[in-house]
Copies of this chain bind each other. A is one copy, B any other.
Amino acid sequence: MVRTLIHNAAILPVTEEKVINRGYIIIEDTRIAEVGEGEYTGALDGFAQVFDGQGKLAMPGLINTHGHAAMTLLRGYGDDLALQVWLEEKMWPIEGKMIAEDVYWGAQLAILEMLKGGTTTFTDMYYFMDGVAESVEQSGMRAVLSRGMVGFSPQKAQETKEGGIEFAKKWHKQADGRITVMLGPHAPYTCPNDFLQEVVAASKELDLPLQIHLSETAFEVDQCKEKNNGLSPIQLMEELGLFERPTIAAHCVHVSDEDIQIMKKYDVKVAHNPDSNLKLGSGVAPALKMLEAGLTLGLGTDGAASNNNLDMFEEMRMAAMLHKGVNQDPIAITAYKALEMATKEGAKALFLEDKLGTLQPGALADIILLDITQPHFYPRHNLIAHVVYSAKSSDVTDVFVNGKQVVANRQVTTLDEATVIRELERCVARLFA
């Protein structure tokens, strides 16, 4: 058994709204064995590694519940455009030219950015997913992966469904259990109804949850109603039996009160992507209403082409700020609620075991350390508020996933950053030639 000690650190356990001003964490192999307050007075010689957390804060790694990692390739390509122009003239033509190595290096860049910024789990729905899974395996990160399924044609439907099932069989619970797989039908507007029902059947057979984009834009909702006797995407999914399977729905920007009731009935999880929804002009999801209805909301960055970074500290801050302003209610989503959404609620939204996203005995040891000696962390009135409202992803110095250190003093130890950037630029040069 490998034992690791982090001591003399401030700790946000996120088990309750509580700050340990000075404490310690003992990791045994992949899990947390103990979280203690005050000085660690035991012997140090039983530990493989001892980290002095003086001037640091330890908290659960952030959990990104929605994204398309390899879209880092398209970061800054096609900003400030209307959604249809952005998709049809910018994204799709380049995505049509991508090959496996593009996705591989794009995912590696995303993993570098996320790990350095304190994200320990990410969610992905894309294609050429073997390269993403291999990158997760190498990097030591945790991920929830899906091969995106689309039914533009019967052939494409068949091919992507089989690809998704094959990917699941190959990768589910691999990489020391750090990879879990969902089936990923892209959206109602890209998947015909009968195809969605086939995917639901496969999800049942394989005992895998589903992830899908739902009600991202007003246009999508209108179009869905027109084609489906007035049913909204949420109502349609209920009718097709999708919600009888464990489901995480990304976006849910344009959901009615009735939609929210349906989601509550089936305990549909939500990946709330405030930055992407703003940047694409999709709108502001009724996150406060969804929370008040008792839904579980995680936070997501979406892809780097519509964000344009993969910074979960920004999403957490945005979630805490945006809904106060839009609802003109300064107590709408509190700092602590936003912190929960970025950690333990995110884990629940991804159907990962319930102790992930917290620091407590038995939890998987996904832990980040922040340097809290920068000016924006003073004075120390409230470390929870500071982490949510004042902190930056660049405050993260060290990252542990599954008990293993993968970022040390702001450098990813498992991937070679210079190589990733060089290979990515090579791929981009070819794609945009």
Contacts and interface: CB of A to CB of B under 8 A. Distances in A.
Interface of A: 72-77, 79-83, 86, 109, 112-113, 116, 218, 275, 277-284, 304, 307-311, 314, 317, 320-322, 324-332, 334-335, 373-376, 378-383, 385-386, 389-390, 392-395, 417, 420-421, 424-425, 428
Contacts of A283: 325-326, 328
Copies in the complex: 2
Given A77-B381, A284-B326, A322-B278, A393 B390 contact: no
Main secondary structure, interface of A, reads: helix
A79 B417 CA distance: 39
A81 B379 contact: no
18 contacts: A73-B379, A76-B381, A76-B382, A77-B382, A79-B385, A109-B375, A280-B324, A281-B324, A281-B327, A281-B328, A281-B331, A308-B385, A308-B390, A373-B421, A379-B424, A381-B428, A392-B392, A392-B393
Contacts of A389: 76, 79, 279, 307-309
Given A311-B376, A392-B393, 10 more contacts: A81-B331, A86-B330, A278-B326, A279-B320, A281-B328, A281-B331, A309-B389, A379-B428, A394-B394, A394-B395
B425 A330 contact: no
A379 B75 contact: yes
Contacts of A113: 374-376
A392 B390 contact: no
Contacts of A278: 321-322, 324-326
A389 B82 CA distance: 17
A81 B330 contact: yes
A386 B72 CA distance: 12
B378 A309 contact: no
Contacts of A310: 376
Given A76-B386, A282-B325, A381-B76, A375 B417 contact: yes
